[in-house]
Structures are given as C-alpha cells and as structure tokens.
C-alpha cells in the first residue's frame, strides 16, 4: 500500500470563491483517501455529491463540505497513492494553474513509500453504462486488466471541435502528460458562471478560454489534445470517490461531471452489494 513519505502543504486560490485556500496532504496508515473535518476523518467514498452543482461539490459525514477537489483527487489516484489524509483550510481546493500537475509534482517531490500492508483492489467485472440526452452522452466502465480511459469530446462550431484520446493510465504517464492538461471553457460559459456568482477566481492563468476564433489573451496549448486530456483528469478525480478508481476501461462520449457522478454512484452501489 503506497502512501506519502511526509507532509505536503499547498496554497492557492479557489476557482469559484476567489478566496485564498490551502491544504495539507499527510501519510495514512489505512487504505483510502480521507478528509479531516471538525468531527475527525471521513473517507472520500462517503462523499455525498451535490448532483446539480456546477462546483463539483460534496459533503462528508464529518461535517466538511469540499468544492472543486477533482484535480487533487485525480493526482492522488494518478500518482498511484493508496492511502492519504487531506486537511483543507476552507471549503475549496486551490485551482492552481487549472491542471493536476502542481499536485502531482508536489507528490513526486515529497516521495512515496510502502506501508507494508496490502491495498484492496477493485476492478470492473462487467460493462456498466450510463447515458444522458437520449444516449448522445455516455460513459461506460468495462472490464480491463489495466486502467484505461478513452474520451471523446465534441464542441461543434468552436475552435475546440472534436477530440479523442486513449490512455493506459500509469503514474509516469499521468505525471508527464495527463496531469498537465488545464481546465478549459468558452467565453459564454464564463459569462454565465460569473453572472451566477461563480468563477470569481478564474483567470487566464488557471484556465484555457476560447472564443469563436480560438484561445484568447495570447494563451497557447501545452499540447494539441490538451482539452480532451483534461476531461480524463476530471474523470479520474470523480471516480476516486468510488473509494479508489476501480481498474477498468472507461469509455466517455461527450461526457462531463454530471454523467461521471452517475457512474460513480452506480459503481459504489454495485461494490457495496458485492461487499467489495
């Protein structure tokens, strides 16, 4: 079972609140991702997700509410950690540069170690499919001996267009490529968020922003398929709420946090029914 060698402190700004935020990551002796709140530790697997929230928010039995944690959770899962404790000052995880790389880099610099205990492993035994919009949006979890993600996005009439990636996720690939993909959006989406009191901390330094012609403000992509690759980060972070990302092949078509959440809840139910 892999955990951290020491403690990590990370500080930044909340994407939606616009307020300063910080967190600490600590080694843990038991398998899972745990958040420390006023009433002790609660597992991420106990998180109750706000289904209609645009903040990817969830609440925990220990009284804690956590917002925009998916990039952090993806980094923990992507870097192969089995056991970690998180203490969050405030309610929103810092957005950093809009990617998972600052978290992955901090984990790599801290180092990891084996606890000497075996980590429980979950895997997809048979295909599980969730759909939205009459099937035009879908997410499938299928059996596989390794963790793989195939993701397709389609933004017709925009510079983003249609993009597809397939990754066999390993800590090395996550650190070197996947983690570096930044969150993205269109100018009209940002206007909507700001009108609703969100994205107060959103800047061109922590998100890719497209208008009808392309990236605004002189921004440049880090690599050609950065947008769809960021969706892989979001998926891994959302699936971490199952209680660790189950091994399988995830196939996403025009998906997003809403449908990720539906699959996460389905998998939780299935694993609990099987006592796994």
User: What pLDDT digit, counting tens, does each position of 84-136 carry?
Assistant: 999 999 889 999 999 999 999 999 999 999 999 988 889 999 999 999 999 99
Question: 16, 249, 257, 260: which is the annotated catalytic residue?
Answer: 257
Vertex 181 angle, CA 7 and 135, to 5°: 115
Q: Which residues contact 34 (CB under 8 A, 6 or more apart)?
A: 28, 41, 42, 43, 44, 84, 85, 86
Average pLDDT of the chain, as a whole number = 94
User: 3-class SS at 112?
Assistant: strand
CATH 3.20.20.70 is right for the domain spanning 2-120: no
Question: How do the domains of the chain map onto residue ranges?
Answer: 2-120
Distance of CA 111 to the CA centre of its chain: 21
Residue 55 has pLDDT above 60, yes or no: no
Give the pLDDT confidence score for residue 201 in this predicted structure.
Answer: 87
Place of tokens 């968020």: 193
* Binding-site sequence positions: 71, 230, 234
CA distance 168 to 150: 9
Q: Tell me, letter by letter, the H, E, C secondary structure of 139-195.
A: EEEECCCCCEEEEEEEECCCCCEEEEEEEECCHHHHHHCHHHCCCEEEHHHHHHHHH
Name the packing angle between helices 226-239 and 70-78 (round to 10°). 80
| Known catalytic residue at 16 | no
pTM of the model: 0.95
* Binding-site sequence positions for Zn(2+): 71, 230, 234
């Amino acid at each position: 079972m892999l955990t951290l060698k020491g403690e990590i402190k990370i500080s930044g700004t909340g994407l939606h609140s616009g307020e300063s935020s910080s967190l600490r990551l600590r080694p843990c002796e038991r398998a899972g991702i745990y958040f420390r709140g006023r009433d002790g530790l609660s597992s991420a697997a106990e998180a109750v997700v706000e289904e209609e929230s645009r903040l990817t928010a969830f609440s925990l039995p220990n009284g804690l509410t956590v917002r925009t944690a998916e990039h952090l959770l993806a980094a923990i899962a992507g870097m192969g950690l089995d056991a970690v404790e998180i203490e969050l000052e405030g309610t929103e995880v810092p957005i950093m540069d809009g990617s998972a790389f600052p978290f992955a880099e901090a984990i790599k610099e801290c180092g990891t170690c084996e606890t000497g205990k075996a980590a429980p492993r979950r895997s997809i035994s048979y295909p599980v499919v969730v759909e939205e919009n009459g099937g035009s949006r879908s997410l499938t979890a299928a059996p596989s001996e390794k963790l793989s993600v195939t993701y397709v996005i389609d933004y017709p009439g925009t510079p983003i267009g249609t993009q597809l990636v397939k990754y066999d996720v390993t800590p090395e690939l996550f650190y070197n490529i996947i983690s570096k993909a930044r969150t993205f959006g269109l100018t009209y989406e940002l206007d909507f968020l700001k009108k609703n009191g969100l994205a107060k901390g959103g800047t061109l330094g922590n998100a890719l922003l497209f208008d009808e012609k392309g990236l605004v403000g002189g921004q440049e992509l880090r690599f050609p398929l950065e947008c769809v690759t960021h969706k892989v980060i979001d998926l891994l972070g959302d699936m971490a709420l199952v209680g660790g990302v189950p091994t399988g092949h995830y196939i996403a078509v025009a998906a997003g946090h809403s449908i990720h959440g539906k699959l996460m809840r389905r998998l939780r139910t299935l694993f609990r029914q099987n006592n796994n």
